[in-house]
Amino acid sequence: MTSDAELIGRSLAGDGQAFMEVVGRHEVAVGAYLARRAGREAAEDLLGDVWVAAFESRSTYDRSFAEARPWLYGVALNRLRRYWRSRPAEDLVPDVTGLANGWDPWPAVDARVDTQAVLRAALARLRPEEREVLTLVAWEDLTVADAARVLGKPAGTARRLLHQARMALRDAPEVAALLTDLNSVKESQ
Amino acid sequence: MVDEMDLVGQLKAAAPLRPDAYERARTTLRVAMIPLPGAAPVRRRRFSPAGNRRGTLGTLGKVSIGAGFGAVAAAVAIALVATSTPRSAAPAGSSTGASTGPAAVGSTLVTLAADIKASGGSVQGNASLAITTQVIGGKLMQAYYGLYTDGGALYSGDDRKTLVKAVADHANQADSVDTREVAAARYAANGNLTTARELMVNATPNDYFLSLAARQKIWAKGAAARQALMREKGIKTPLTMPTGKALQADIDDSVWNNSIDSLTWGAANPEIRAGVLRLLSTLPEVTVVKSTAGGQPTLTLTAGPALLEGGKQVLTINAKTGMPISSVVTLPQVPTSVETYQVSRVTLAGVKAGKF
Protein backbone atom coordinates (compact mmCIF):
# COMPACT_ATOMS: atom_id res chain seq x y z
CA MET A 1 0.00 0.00 0.00
CA THR A 2 1.19 3.48 -0.82
CA SER A 3 2.43 5.22 2.31
CA ASP A 4 0.91 8.43 3.62
CA ALA A 5 4.22 10.13 2.97
CA GLU A 6 4.11 9.15 -0.68
CA LEU A 7 0.53 10.35 -1.01
CA ILE A 8 1.43 13.68 0.56
CA GLY A 9 4.31 13.94 -1.86
CA ARG A 10 1.94 13.29 -4.75
CA SER A 11 -0.43 15.87 -3.34
CA LEU A 12 2.35 18.42 -3.31
CA ALA A 13 2.94 17.61 -6.94
CA GLY A 14 -0.64 18.57 -7.72
CA ASP A 15 -2.58 15.36 -7.22
CA GLY A 16 -5.50 16.49 -5.04
CA GLN A 17 -6.98 13.02 -4.93
CA ALA A 18 -3.88 11.75 -3.15
CA PHE A 19 -4.54 13.94 -0.14
CA MET A 20 -8.16 12.85 -0.10
CA GLU A 21 -6.88 9.31 0.23
CA VAL A 22 -4.87 10.30 3.28
CA VAL A 23 -8.02 11.82 4.70
CA GLY A 24 -9.95 8.63 4.03
CA ARG A 25 -7.40 6.58 5.88
CA HIS A 26 -7.44 8.67 9.03
CA GLU A 27 -10.77 10.43 9.26
CA VAL A 28 -12.33 8.03 11.73
CA ALA A 29 -9.32 8.18 14.04
CA VAL A 30 -8.99 11.95 13.85
CA GLY A 31 -12.73 12.35 14.31
CA ALA A 32 -12.58 10.21 17.44
CA TYR A 33 -9.56 12.13 18.69
CA LEU A 34 -11.51 15.37 18.40
CA ALA A 35 -14.68 13.90 19.88
CA ARG A 36 -12.83 12.65 22.97
CA ARG A 37 -11.51 16.11 23.63
CA ALA A 38 -14.28 18.42 22.50
CA GLY A 39 -17.41 16.31 22.23
CA ARG A 40 -19.11 15.07 19.12
CA GLU A 41 -20.83 18.29 18.07
CA ALA A 42 -17.65 20.33 18.18
CA ALA A 43 -15.66 17.50 16.62
CA GLU A 44 -17.99 17.43 13.65
CA ASP A 45 -17.53 21.17 13.21
CA LEU A 46 -13.77 21.00 13.59
CA LEU A 47 -12.95 18.05 11.38
CA GLY A 48 -13.13 19.98 8.12
CA ASP A 49 -10.92 22.71 9.57
CA VAL A 50 -8.38 20.08 10.52
CA TRP A 51 -8.25 18.75 6.96
CA VAL A 52 -7.86 22.23 5.56
CA ALA A 53 -5.10 23.08 8.03
CA ALA A 54 -3.35 19.79 7.27
CA PHE A 55 -3.65 20.32 3.54
CA GLU A 56 -2.30 23.84 3.78
CA SER A 57 0.65 22.79 5.90
CA ARG A 58 1.44 19.54 4.12
CA SER A 59 4.65 20.96 2.70
CA THR A 60 6.01 20.90 6.24
CA TYR A 61 5.31 17.19 6.62
CA ASP A 62 8.45 15.21 7.30
CA ARG A 63 8.23 12.52 4.68
CA SER A 64 10.74 10.34 6.41
CA PHE A 65 7.69 9.27 8.46
CA ALA A 66 5.57 6.91 6.39
CA GLU A 67 2.53 7.18 8.63
CA ALA A 68 0.81 10.57 8.90
CA ARG A 69 -1.59 9.95 11.77
CA PRO A 70 0.56 11.47 14.54
CA TRP A 71 1.10 14.53 12.39
CA LEU A 72 -2.64 14.79 11.81
CA TYR A 73 -3.27 14.53 15.54
CA GLY A 74 -0.83 17.39 15.99
CA VAL A 75 -2.75 19.47 13.46
CA ALA A 76 -5.98 18.55 15.23
CA LEU A 77 -4.51 19.51 18.60
CA ASN A 78 -3.57 22.94 17.29
CA ARG A 79 -7.08 23.38 15.96
CA LEU A 80 -8.51 22.28 19.30
CA ARG A 81 -6.42 24.83 21.11
CA ARG A 82 -7.75 27.56 18.87
CA TYR A 83 -11.26 26.29 19.45
CA TRP A 84 -10.80 26.26 23.20
CA ARG A 85 -9.37 29.74 23.14
CA SER A 86 -12.35 30.99 21.15
CA ARG A 87 -14.90 29.61 23.57
CA PRO A 88 -16.32 31.79 26.30
CA ALA A 89 -14.66 30.90 29.57
CA GLU A 90 -17.96 30.03 31.19
CA ASP A 91 -18.54 27.38 28.53
CA LEU A 92 -15.36 25.64 29.45
CA VAL A 93 -14.14 26.21 32.91
CA PRO A 94 -16.24 27.25 35.87
CA ASP A 95 -13.14 27.95 37.88
CA VAL A 96 -10.06 28.72 35.86
CA THR A 97 -7.90 29.80 38.72
CA GLY A 98 -6.18 26.48 39.05
CA LEU A 99 -5.38 25.95 35.41
CA ALA A 100 -2.00 26.11 33.80
CA ASN A 101 -3.30 28.36 31.05
CA GLY A 102 -6.48 29.81 29.71
CA TRP A 103 -7.26 27.43 26.92
CA ASP A 104 -7.38 24.30 29.01
CA PRO A 105 -10.98 23.09 29.21
CA TRP A 106 -10.48 19.84 31.00
CA PRO A 107 -11.84 20.71 34.42
CA ALA A 108 -15.22 21.29 32.80
CA VAL A 109 -15.28 18.29 30.51
CA ASP A 110 -18.18 16.00 31.04
CA ALA A 111 -18.35 16.08 34.80
CA ARG A 112 -21.91 14.92 34.37
CA VAL A 113 -20.70 11.39 34.01
CA ASP A 114 -20.52 10.67 37.70
CA THR A 115 -18.86 7.32 37.45
CA GLN A 116 -16.01 8.82 35.53
CA ALA A 117 -15.87 12.13 37.32
CA VAL A 118 -13.09 11.03 39.64
CA LEU A 119 -10.83 10.12 36.77
CA ARG A 120 -11.68 13.19 34.80
CA ALA A 121 -10.96 15.37 37.76
CA ALA A 122 -7.62 13.69 38.20
CA LEU A 123 -6.83 14.18 34.50
CA ALA A 124 -7.85 17.80 34.79
CA ARG A 125 -5.22 18.37 37.40
CA LEU A 126 -2.41 17.17 35.16
CA ARG A 127 -0.35 19.65 33.24
CA PRO A 128 -1.74 19.92 29.70
CA GLU A 129 1.27 18.33 28.02
CA GLU A 130 1.36 15.49 30.52
CA ARG A 131 -2.31 14.86 29.91
CA GLU A 132 -1.88 15.00 26.15
CA VAL A 133 0.89 12.44 26.11
CA LEU A 134 -1.04 10.23 28.48
CA THR A 135 -4.23 10.31 26.45
CA LEU A 136 -2.42 9.93 23.14
CA VAL A 137 -0.95 6.71 24.44
CA ALA A 138 -4.02 5.48 26.33
CA TRP A 139 -6.73 6.53 23.90
CA GLU A 140 -5.15 6.80 20.51
CA ASP A 141 -2.85 3.80 20.95
CA LEU A 142 0.21 5.76 19.95
CA THR A 143 3.70 4.88 20.97
CA VAL A 144 5.46 7.45 23.11
CA ALA A 145 7.63 8.31 20.12
CA ASP A 146 4.55 9.02 18.02
CA ALA A 147 3.00 11.03 20.83
CA ALA A 148 6.18 13.09 20.80
CA ARG A 149 5.61 13.75 17.09
CA VAL A 150 2.13 15.02 17.84
CA LEU A 151 3.48 17.50 20.33
CA GLY A 152 6.57 18.35 18.36
CA LYS A 153 8.83 17.32 21.21
CA PRO A 154 11.73 14.90 21.53
CA ALA A 155 10.78 11.33 22.40
CA GLY A 156 12.70 11.59 25.66
CA THR A 157 10.60 14.56 26.71
CA ALA A 158 7.41 12.70 25.90
CA ARG A 159 8.60 9.72 27.93
CA ARG A 160 9.29 11.99 30.88
CA LEU A 161 5.89 13.66 30.53
CA LEU A 162 4.17 10.29 30.42
CA HIS A 163 6.04 9.12 33.49
CA GLN A 164 5.12 12.29 35.36
CA ALA A 165 1.50 11.94 34.34
CA ARG A 166 1.31 8.36 35.52
CA MET A 167 2.96 9.19 38.81
CA ALA A 168 0.64 12.12 39.37
CA LEU A 169 -2.39 9.97 38.75
CA ARG A 170 -1.13 7.14 40.89
CA ASP A 171 -0.43 9.54 43.72
CA ALA A 172 -3.83 11.19 43.55
CA PRO A 173 -5.71 9.88 46.59
CA GLU A 174 -9.01 9.29 44.79
CA VAL A 175 -7.31 7.45 41.94
CA ALA A 176 -5.24 5.43 44.37
CA ALA A 177 -8.46 4.49 46.16
CA LEU A 178 -10.06 3.44 42.89
CA LEU A 179 -7.08 1.29 41.99
CA THR A 180 -7.05 -0.32 45.40
CA ASP A 181 -10.74 -1.11 45.17
CA LEU A 182 -10.50 -2.53 41.68
CA ASN A 183 -7.44 -4.64 42.39
CA SER A 184 -8.81 -5.97 45.66
CA VAL A 185 -12.00 -7.00 43.88
CA LYS A 186 -9.91 -8.79 41.28
CA GLU A 187 -7.86 -10.53 43.88
CA SER A 188 -10.94 -11.73 45.72
CA GLN A 189 -12.40 -13.21 42.55
CA MET B 1 -3.64 -5.88 38.03
CA VAL B 2 -5.36 -2.67 37.02
CA ASP B 3 -3.13 0.38 36.74
CA GLU B 4 -3.69 4.05 36.03
CA MET B 5 -3.36 3.56 32.29
CA ASP B 6 -6.22 1.06 32.36
CA LEU B 7 -8.32 3.56 34.27
CA VAL B 8 -7.63 6.32 31.80
CA GLY B 9 -8.44 3.91 29.03
CA GLN B 10 -11.95 3.64 30.45
CA LEU B 11 -12.54 7.22 29.37
CA LYS B 12 -11.66 6.45 25.80
CA ALA B 13 -15.22 5.98 24.58
CA ALA B 14 -16.71 8.93 22.77
CA ALA B 15 -19.85 9.33 20.72
CA PRO B 16 -18.79 8.59 17.15
CA LEU B 17 -19.16 11.27 14.54
CA ARG B 18 -22.22 10.88 12.40
CA PRO B 19 -21.46 9.53 8.92
CA ASP B 20 -22.44 12.70 7.11
CA ALA B 21 -19.97 14.66 9.23
CA TYR B 22 -17.10 12.98 7.41
CA GLU B 23 -18.51 13.96 4.07
CA ARG B 24 -19.10 17.54 5.20
CA ALA B 25 -15.51 17.72 6.38
CA ARG B 26 -14.24 16.40 3.08
CA THR B 27 -16.38 18.89 1.22
CA THR B 28 -14.84 21.68 3.29
CA LEU B 29 -11.44 20.40 2.26
CA ARG B 30 -12.36 20.09 -1.38
CA VAL B 31 -13.53 23.67 -1.49
CA ALA B 32 -10.30 24.76 0.22
CA MET B 33 -8.25 22.80 -2.27
CA ILE B 34 -9.44 25.00 -5.09
CA PRO B 35 -6.46 27.24 -5.74
CA LEU B 36 -6.88 30.96 -5.39
CA PRO B 37 -5.77 33.33 -8.11
CA GLY B 38 -2.03 33.64 -7.96
CA ALA B 39 -1.49 30.17 -6.63
CA ALA B 40 0.27 27.54 -8.68
CA PRO B 41 -2.08 26.13 -11.28
CA VAL B 42 -3.54 22.74 -10.69
CA ARG B 43 -3.11 20.08 -13.27
CA ARG B 44 -6.76 19.59 -13.95
CA ARG B 45 -10.07 20.92 -12.87
CA ARG B 46 -13.71 20.23 -13.22
CA PHE B 47 -16.80 22.28 -13.66
CA SER B 48 -18.11 21.78 -10.15
CA PRO B 49 -16.60 23.36 -7.04
CA ALA B 50 -14.89 20.23 -6.02
CA GLY B 51 -15.46 17.58 -8.57
CA ASN B 52 -19.02 16.57 -9.02
CA ARG B 53 -18.71 12.88 -9.00
CA ARG B 54 -21.36 10.90 -7.37
CA GLY B 55 -20.19 9.05 -4.32
CA THR B 56 -21.01 5.70 -5.74
CA LEU B 57 -19.51 2.49 -4.65
CA GLY B 58 -19.01 0.16 -7.51
CA THR B 59 -18.07 -3.40 -6.99
CA LEU B 60 -14.49 -2.30 -6.92
CA GLY B 61 -15.31 0.31 -4.38
CA LYS B 62 -13.41 2.71 -6.60
CA VAL B 63 -14.89 5.95 -7.84
CA SER B 64 -13.87 9.46 -7.21
CA ILE B 65 -14.89 11.27 -4.12
CA GLY B 66 -18.31 12.84 -4.27
CA ALA B 67 -18.85 16.41 -3.21
CA GLY B 68 -21.76 15.87 -0.93
CA PHE B 69 -23.42 13.24 -3.00
CA GLY B 70 -24.18 9.87 -1.52
CA ALA B 71 -22.51 10.66 1.73
CA VAL B 72 -22.76 7.19 3.09
CA ALA B 73 -21.44 5.45 0.05
CA ALA B 74 -18.75 8.05 -0.44
CA ALA B 75 -17.66 7.68 3.13
CA VAL B 76 -16.93 4.08 2.43
CA ALA B 77 -15.66 4.56 -1.07
CA ILE B 78 -13.01 7.00 -0.03
CA ALA B 79 -10.99 4.38 1.70
CA LEU B 80 -11.53 1.73 -0.86
CA VAL B 81 -9.96 3.31 -3.86
CA ALA B 82 -9.23 0.57 -6.30
CA THR B 83 -6.24 0.37 -8.51
CA SER B 84 -7.94 -1.18 -11.46
CA THR B 85 -7.33 0.14 -14.91
CA PRO B 86 -10.05 0.92 -17.38
CA ARG B 87 -10.94 -1.88 -19.69
CA SER B 88 -11.62 -1.72 -23.32
CA ALA B 89 -15.22 -1.12 -24.18
CA ALA B 90 -17.14 -4.30 -23.73
CA PRO B 91 -20.75 -5.06 -24.50
CA ALA B 92 -23.01 -4.15 -21.65
CA GLY B 93 -23.85 -7.47 -20.12
CA SER B 94 -27.51 -7.87 -19.43
CA SER B 95 -26.60 -9.58 -16.21
CA THR B 96 -25.27 -6.29 -14.86
CA GLY B 97 -28.60 -4.66 -15.27
CA ALA B 98 -26.94 -1.90 -17.23
CA SER B 99 -29.08 -0.75 -20.07
CA THR B 100 -27.23 1.83 -22.03
CA GLY B 101 -30.21 3.46 -23.64
CA PRO B 102 -28.96 5.35 -26.67
CA ALA B 103 -30.11 8.78 -27.70
CA ALA B 104 -33.62 9.58 -28.58
CA VAL B 105 -33.03 10.44 -32.21
CA GLY B 106 -34.30 13.89 -32.95
CA SER B 107 -33.93 15.11 -29.42
CA THR B 108 -32.86 18.71 -28.94
CA LEU B 109 -29.29 17.79 -28.13
CA VAL B 110 -28.90 15.36 -30.98
CA THR B 111 -30.28 17.92 -33.38
CA LEU B 112 -27.89 20.55 -32.09
CA ALA B 113 -25.01 18.09 -32.36
CA ALA B 114 -25.92 17.46 -35.98
CA ASP B 115 -26.06 21.20 -36.64
CA ILE B 116 -22.64 21.69 -35.08
CA LYS B 117 -21.14 18.97 -37.23
CA ALA B 118 -22.82 20.31 -40.34
CA SER B 119 -21.59 23.84 -39.78
CA GLY B 120 -18.19 22.84 -38.49
CA GLY B 121 -16.40 22.73 -41.80
CA SER B 122 -12.76 23.58 -41.63
CA VAL B 123 -11.92 24.76 -38.17
CA GLN B 124 -9.36 27.44 -37.64
CA GLY B 125 -6.65 27.08 -35.06
CA ASN B 126 -5.38 23.94 -33.43
CA ALA B 127 -6.44 24.29 -29.80
CA SER B 128 -9.36 25.04 -27.54
CA LEU B 129 -9.01 27.81 -24.97
CA ALA B 130 -11.47 27.94 -22.08
CA ILE B 131 -11.23 30.76 -19.57
CA THR B 132 -13.27 29.90 -16.52
CA THR B 133 -14.13 32.04 -13.56
CA GLN B 134 -15.59 30.42 -10.52
CA VAL B 135 -17.63 32.12 -7.82
CA ILE B 136 -18.57 30.18 -4.72
CA GLY B 137 -21.01 31.63 -2.24
CA GLY B 138 -20.74 34.99 -4.01
CA LYS B 139 -16.96 35.10 -3.67
CA LEU B 140 -14.59 34.86 -6.62
CA MET B 141 -12.57 31.75 -6.00
CA GLN B 142 -10.45 31.38 -9.07
CA ALA B 143 -9.88 32.00 -12.69
CA TYR B 144 -8.61 29.14 -14.79
CA TYR B 145 -7.07 29.28 -18.22
CA GLY B 146 -7.18 25.87 -19.87
CA LEU B 147 -5.69 25.21 -23.28
CA TYR B 148 -6.31 21.84 -24.90
CA THR B 149 -4.65 21.20 -28.23
CA ASP B 150 -6.08 19.04 -30.96
CA GLY B 151 -3.04 16.85 -30.43
CA GLY B 152 -4.09 16.14 -26.84
CA ALA B 153 -1.74 18.40 -24.86
CA LEU B 154 -3.14 20.34 -21.91
CA TYR B 155 -1.71 23.58 -20.57
CA SER B 156 -3.16 25.65 -17.81
CA GLY B 157 -2.64 28.81 -15.83
CA ASP B 158 -4.33 31.19 -13.46
CA ASP B 159 -4.05 34.06 -15.90
CA ARG B 160 -2.67 34.92 -19.31
CA LYS B 161 0.88 35.17 -18.06
CA THR B 162 1.01 31.79 -16.37
CA LEU B 163 -0.70 30.11 -19.32
CA VAL B 164 1.86 31.57 -21.73
CA LYS B 165 4.61 30.38 -19.43
CA ALA B 166 3.11 26.88 -19.24
CA VAL B 167 3.09 26.67 -23.04
CA ALA B 168 6.61 28.06 -23.30
CA ASP B 169 7.80 25.57 -20.70
CA HIS B 170 6.08 22.68 -22.50
CA ALA B 171 4.28 21.94 -19.24
CA ASN B 172 1.86 19.46 -20.75
CA GLN B 173 -0.48 18.33 -17.99
CA ALA B 174 -2.66 15.93 -19.94
CA ASP B 175 -3.02 12.44 -18.58
CA SER B 176 -4.51 9.22 -19.83
CA VAL B 177 -7.94 10.00 -18.38
CA ASP B 178 -8.16 13.25 -20.33
CA THR B 179 -7.06 11.45 -23.44
CA ARG B 180 -9.65 8.72 -23.05
CA GLU B 181 -12.44 11.18 -22.25
CA VAL B 182 -11.73 13.31 -25.28
CA ALA B 183 -11.35 10.25 -27.50
CA ALA B 184 -14.75 9.01 -26.33
CA ALA B 185 -16.33 12.38 -27.07
CA ARG B 186 -14.79 12.43 -30.53
CA TYR B 187 -16.01 8.93 -31.22
CA ALA B 188 -19.50 9.88 -30.02
CA ALA B 189 -19.76 12.63 -32.60
CA ASN B 190 -20.33 10.05 -35.31
CA GLY B 191 -20.15 6.62 -33.74
CA ASN B 192 -22.52 4.19 -32.10
CA LEU B 193 -23.79 5.75 -28.91
CA THR B 194 -23.87 2.57 -26.87
CA THR B 195 -20.20 2.05 -27.63
CA ALA B 196 -19.49 5.73 -27.05
CA ARG B 197 -21.07 5.58 -23.61
CA GLU B 198 -18.90 2.65 -22.66
CA LEU B 199 -15.82 4.39 -23.93
CA MET B 200 -16.69 7.46 -21.91
CA VAL B 201 -17.46 5.49 -18.74
CA ASN B 202 -14.29 3.47 -19.18
CA ALA B 203 -12.21 6.63 -19.32
CA THR B 204 -12.11 6.25 -15.56
CA PRO B 205 -11.68 2.93 -13.70
CA ASN B 206 -14.86 0.99 -13.13
CA ASP B 207 -16.32 -2.46 -13.13
CA TYR B 208 -19.72 -1.63 -14.51
CA PHE B 209 -19.58 -3.77 -17.61
CA LEU B 210 -18.18 -6.91 -16.10
CA SER B 211 -20.44 -9.89 -15.72
CA LEU B 212 -22.57 -10.09 -12.60
CA ALA B 213 -20.50 -13.03 -11.37
CA ALA B 214 -17.27 -11.13 -11.83
CA ARG B 215 -18.62 -8.10 -10.04
CA GLN B 216 -19.91 -10.22 -7.17
CA LYS B 217 -16.51 -11.83 -6.86
CA ILE B 218 -14.84 -8.44 -6.58
CA TRP B 219 -17.53 -7.22 -4.19
CA ALA B 220 -17.01 -10.23 -1.93
CA LYS B 221 -13.29 -9.67 -1.96
CA GLY B 222 -13.74 -6.20 -0.49
CA ALA B 223 -16.49 -7.15 1.95
CA ALA B 224 -14.40 -7.45 5.09
CA ALA B 225 -12.69 -4.11 4.64
CA ARG B 226 -15.98 -2.49 3.73
CA GLN B 227 -17.77 -3.82 6.76
CA ALA B 228 -14.96 -2.84 9.10
CA LEU B 229 -15.03 0.67 7.78
CA MET B 230 -18.80 0.89 8.02
CA ARG B 231 -18.60 -0.25 11.63
CA GLU B 232 -16.04 2.40 12.37
CA LYS B 233 -18.12 5.05 10.72
CA GLY B 234 -21.32 3.99 12.43
CA ILE B 235 -23.08 3.20 9.17
CA LYS B 236 -25.97 0.96 10.01
CA THR B 237 -27.52 0.35 6.62
CA PRO B 238 -25.70 -2.49 4.89
CA LEU B 239 -24.21 -1.54 1.57
CA THR B 240 -25.30 -3.65 -1.33
CA MET B 241 -23.62 -4.05 -4.65
CA PRO B 242 -25.28 -1.69 -7.11
CA THR B 243 -27.38 -3.52 -9.65
CA GLY B 244 -30.33 -2.63 -11.82
CA LYS B 245 -31.39 0.99 -11.43
CA ALA B 246 -28.63 1.81 -8.96
CA LEU B 247 -25.99 0.53 -11.36
CA GLN B 248 -27.63 2.38 -14.22
CA ALA B 249 -27.53 5.59 -12.19
CA ASP B 250 -23.84 5.05 -11.50
CA ILE B 251 -23.13 4.52 -15.18
CA ASP B 252 -25.15 7.56 -16.19
CA ASP B 253 -23.35 9.58 -13.56
CA SER B 254 -20.04 8.59 -15.10
CA VAL B 255 -21.29 9.51 -18.55
CA TRP B 256 -22.34 12.94 -17.27
CA ASN B 257 -19.17 13.71 -15.35
CA ASN B 258 -16.70 12.41 -17.88
CA SER B 259 -18.54 14.10 -20.73
CA ILE B 260 -18.51 17.41 -18.89
CA ASP B 261 -14.79 16.88 -18.32
CA SER B 262 -14.13 16.41 -21.99
CA LEU B 263 -16.20 19.49 -22.73
CA THR B 264 -14.00 21.35 -20.27
CA TRP B 265 -10.95 20.48 -22.31
CA GLY B 266 -12.26 20.71 -25.81
CA ALA B 267 -15.28 23.00 -25.90
CA ALA B 268 -14.01 24.95 -28.90
CA ASN B 269 -13.56 21.81 -30.93
CA PRO B 270 -16.86 21.14 -32.76
CA GLU B 271 -16.28 17.41 -32.94
CA ILE B 272 -15.82 17.15 -29.17
CA ARG B 273 -18.76 19.42 -28.51
CA ALA B 274 -21.04 17.46 -30.80
CA GLY B 275 -19.94 14.19 -29.25
CA VAL B 276 -20.59 15.44 -25.74
CA LEU B 277 -24.05 16.63 -26.66
CA ARG B 278 -24.88 13.27 -28.18
CA LEU B 279 -23.64 11.51 -25.08
CA LEU B 280 -25.65 13.77 -22.79
CA SER B 281 -28.72 13.08 -24.88
CA THR B 282 -28.61 9.48 -23.67
CA LEU B 283 -29.20 10.48 -20.06
CA PRO B 284 -32.86 10.26 -19.09
CA GLU B 285 -32.06 12.06 -15.85
CA VAL B 286 -31.04 15.22 -17.69
CA THR B 287 -33.70 17.72 -18.70
CA VAL B 288 -33.19 20.17 -21.53
CA VAL B 289 -35.10 23.45 -21.60
CA LYS B 290 -34.91 26.31 -24.08
CA SER B 291 -33.85 29.54 -22.42
CA THR B 292 -32.10 32.82 -23.04
CA ALA B 293 -29.04 34.32 -21.42
CA GLY B 294 -27.56 37.72 -22.17
CA GLY B 295 -29.93 38.08 -25.10
CA GLN B 296 -28.80 34.89 -26.82
CA PRO B 297 -30.79 31.71 -27.18
CA THR B 298 -29.57 29.04 -24.83
CA LEU B 299 -30.33 25.55 -23.67
CA THR B 300 -30.43 24.76 -19.99
CA LEU B 301 -29.36 21.22 -19.16
CA THR B 302 -30.21 20.15 -15.63
CA ALA B 303 -28.80 17.05 -14.00
CA GLY B 304 -30.98 16.75 -10.95
CA PRO B 305 -30.98 14.69 -7.79
CA ALA B 306 -31.85 11.53 -9.69
CA LEU B 307 -28.42 11.71 -11.29
CA LEU B 308 -26.46 13.77 -8.77
CA GLU B 309 -27.72 12.41 -5.52
CA GLY B 310 -28.79 15.23 -3.28
CA GLY B 311 -27.78 18.05 -5.57
CA LYS B 312 -28.03 19.35 -9.06
CA GLN B 313 -25.90 20.84 -11.80
CA VAL B 314 -27.29 23.24 -14.34
CA LEU B 315 -25.26 23.64 -17.49
CA THR B 316 -26.19 26.44 -19.86
CA ILE B 317 -25.01 26.23 -23.43
CA ASN B 318 -25.48 28.36 -26.52
CA ALA B 319 -28.51 26.99 -28.36
CA LYS B 320 -26.91 27.44 -31.76
CA THR B 321 -23.29 26.51 -31.17
CA GLY B 322 -23.40 24.29 -28.11
CA MET B 323 -20.63 26.34 -26.51
CA PRO B 324 -20.79 26.18 -22.71
CA ILE B 325 -21.75 29.46 -21.05
CA SER B 326 -22.12 28.65 -17.39
CA SER B 327 -22.50 25.91 -14.83
CA VAL B 328 -24.22 26.16 -11.48
CA VAL B 329 -23.69 23.41 -8.94
CA THR B 330 -25.94 23.22 -5.94
CA LEU B 331 -25.14 20.78 -3.18
CA PRO B 332 -26.61 20.32 0.27
CA GLN B 333 -24.79 22.36 2.89
CA VAL B 334 -22.27 23.70 0.39
CA PRO B 335 -22.28 27.23 -1.03
CA THR B 336 -23.50 27.35 -4.60
CA SER B 337 -20.77 27.33 -7.20
CA VAL B 338 -21.23 29.40 -10.34
CA GLU B 339 -18.80 29.11 -13.21
CA THR B 340 -18.79 31.11 -16.39
CA TYR B 341 -16.84 30.24 -19.51
CA GLN B 342 -15.23 32.09 -22.34
CA VAL B 343 -14.38 29.58 -24.99
CA SER B 344 -12.42 30.31 -28.14
CA ARG B 345 -10.50 28.61 -30.88
CA VAL B 346 -6.81 29.52 -30.89
CA THR B 347 -3.44 28.34 -32.08
CA LEU B 348 -0.78 27.04 -29.76
CA ALA B 349 1.78 29.34 -31.34
CA GLY B 350 -0.53 32.30 -30.84
CA VAL B 351 -0.98 31.56 -27.17
CA LYS B 352 2.75 31.12 -26.77
CA ALA B 353 3.18 34.56 -28.30
CA GLY B 354 0.56 35.98 -25.98
CA LYS B 355 -1.89 36.54 -28.81
CA PHE B 356 -5.22 35.54 -27.35
Q: Is residue A66 classed exposed, middle or buried when 0-12, 13-18 and 19+ CB atoms within 10 A define those classes? A: exposed
Shortest Cα distance, chain B CAs vs residue A52, angstroms:
5
pLDDT at B296: 92
- B339 pLDDT exceeds 60? yes
B181: distance to nearest CA of chain A, Å? 18
Read off the pLDDT band of B188 (50, 70, 90): very high
Cα of B71 to nearest chain A Cα, Å: 13
On the CB side of B187, CA atoms within 13 Å amount to 18
CA distance A43 to A24: 16
Q: Tell me what pLDDT residue B105 has.
A: 41
Q: Which of A15, A28, A72 to mutate to test the interface with B (most CBs of B within 10 A)?
A: A28
What is the spatial distance between Cα A96 and Cα B221, in angstroms, rounded to a whole number? 54
pLDDT at A54: 93
Mean pLDDT, residues B312-321: 93
User: Residue A117's closest chain B neighbor by CA?
Assistant: B11
Predicted pLDDT at A175:
84
Cβ pair B10:A116 closer than 8 A: yes
Residue A173 in any domain: the answer is no
First to last CA, chain A: 46
- Chain-centroid distance of CA A142 in Å reads 10
B42 to A47: CB separation less than 8 angstroms, yes or no: no
Residue A58 lies in a domain: yes
Residue A188 has pLDDT above 80, yes or no: no
CB contacts, 8 Å: A170 with chain B:
3-4
Residue A51: its pLDDT value, please? Answer: 94
The chain-wide mean pLDDT, for chain B, equals 75
Convert the pLDDT of each residue in B83-139 to its tens digit. Answer: 233 333 333 333 333 334 444 444 899 999 999 988 866 678 999 999 988 787 777
Domain count, chain A: 1
Parse chain B into domains and list their residue ranges.
Answer: 14-352
Cβ-based contacts of B12 with chain A (< 8 Å): 36, 138-139
Element at A129 (helix H, strand E): helix A128-138
Whether residue A92 lies inside any domain: the answer is no
pLDDT over 70, % of chain A: 81
pLDDT at A110 exceeding the cut of 80: no
Q: For chain B, what is the largest distance between any 2 Cα atoms, rounded to a whole number of angstroms?
A: 86
| A179 reaches B (C-beta below 8 A) | yes
Q: Taking CA atoms, what residue in A is nearest to B63?
A: A17
Cα–Cα nearest to A34, from A161, A125, A140: A140
Tally of CB atoms within 10 A around B172: 14
31-70 in A: which are within 8 Å (CB) of B? 31-32, 35-36, 39-40, 43-44, 47-52, 55-56
- Yes or no: say if B136 and B31 are a contact pair by the CB < 8 Å rule: yes
Q: Comparing C-alpha atoms, which of B226, B264, B250 is closest to residue B53? A: B250
Q: What is the pLDDT of residues B19-71, one digit of tens each?
A: 778 888 888 888 777 654 333 333 344 433 333 344 333 343 322 222 222 22
Please write the tens of the pLDDT for every residue from A148-165: 999 888 888 889 999 999
For the segment A40-85, what is each residue's pLDDT rounded down to a tens digit? 888 988 999 999 999 988 988 888 889 999 999 999 998 888 888 7
B28 touches chain A (CB under 8 A): yes
The whole-number pLDDT of residue A63 equals 86
Note whether residue A66 is domain-resident: yes
Show residues of chain A in contact with B257, CB under 8 Å.
Answer: none
Please give the pLDDT value at position A33: 94
The CA-based angle B174-B149-B37, given to 5 degrees, is: 65
Q: Is the pLDDT of residue B351 over 70?
A: yes
Phi and psi for B44 in degrees, rounded to 5?
Answer: -145, 160
What dihedral angle (degrees, nearest 10) is formed by the CA atoms of B73, B79, B83, B88? Answer: 10
In a domain, A102, yes or no: no
pLDDT digits 0-9 by tens, B215-253: 888 778 767 766 766 666 566 777 788 889 888 988 998
User: Per the domain annotation, does A121 fall within a domain?
Assistant: no
How far from chain centre, in Å, is Cα A148? 11
- CATH assignment of the domain containing A6: 1.10.1740.10
pLDDT of residue B333: 59
In terms of residue numbers, what domain contains A49? 1-86
- A69: in domain: yes
* Cβ-defined contact of B29 to A183 (cutoff 8 Å): no
Do residues A102 and A77 lie in contact, with contact meaning Cβ atoms separated by under 8 Å?
no
Residue A1 belongs to a domain: yes
